[in-house]
Amino acid sequence: MPHDAGSWPGDGSWAQADPRDAVATTKADQIRHAIEEMIISGTFPPGTVLRQDELSRRFGVSRTPIREALRQLGAVGFVSFTPNRGVRVQALDRDEWSQTYLARAVLEGAAAEAAATRITDDQLDELAAANAQFAHHTGVLRRANASRDDRGQAALAWVESNERFHSGILQAAELPVVERLVTSLRRVFSGEASWAPGSAADSLYAANLKQHEAIQAALAARNGRAARALMEAHIMDSWALMESVLDESQHD
């Protein structure tokens, strides 16, 4: 029997966004990432019914960000919406995921090259600030004596600072169509549920940080070709991190 995590309207009404609802986008994004990690780590295995009221209680929020988070998860194939049966977790397809990262590598590489000629000093300062946060939270995730609570908080903050870094480059590129495509493709996983010091994921976290620093340096030097090559390699190595976390979670 599938696991059950709360109720969801099956009449399609979830898709009718009320313009009066002020959706807390940032909160919805955080919840989406948290649920995504639970799916990846096996906390919510395929077939799990994700119920709106239960998720609202779990995250201490109203149904509005829950509804938006599930909509986002459905858009990228993590869950499916079935009339009168609710929202169910889908089986993960690694081949589709690898294609997603390949598409991101091409698009974000092109964006990085464009950003190198357009990025302002203020935007470079914002990138540096985002990367400083990313470095701090990476350090917490890699620290052997960090408590589970500290690591859990760092995982969400890691996701936020990572997205802040990548979004900053996309905005600097001034390529709105590319930015929309990348946003729809982006999947970020911190690996908090299964990461351990000394694991394969550990070294990949360290590499992630060094790659951010190299991309930042290439942009500051206005070197578009280097920024593109570094970004493409970074995205594909992020896929290697994802695969490592998936492998570790399956052997827990």
Q: What is the pLDDT of residues 60-74, one digit of tens each?
A: 889 999 999 999 888
CATH 3.30.160.100 fits 94-250, yes or no: no
Those residues whose C-beta lies under 8 Å from the C-beta of residue 178, and which sit 6 or more positions away, are 107, 110, 111, 170
- Do the domains spanning 13-89 and 94-250 agree at the CATH topology level? no
**pTM score, whole prediction:** 0.68
Q: What is the mean pLDDT of residues 37-66?
A: 86
Tell me the average pLDDT of the chain: 81
Residue 77 has pLDDT above 90, yes or no: no
Residue 47 has pLDDT above 90, yes or no: no
Question: In terms of pLDDT, which residue wins out, 244 or 90?
Answer: 90
Those residues whose C-beta lies under 8 Å from the C-beta of residue 225, and which sit 6 or more positions away, are 113
CATH number of 13-89: 1.10.10.10
Q: What is the pLDDT of residues 152-207, one digit of tens each?
A: 777 778 888 888 999 999 999 999 999 988 887 876 554 554 455 556 667 778 88
Spans of all domains in the chain:
13-89, 94-250
What percent of the chain has pLDDT above 70? 81
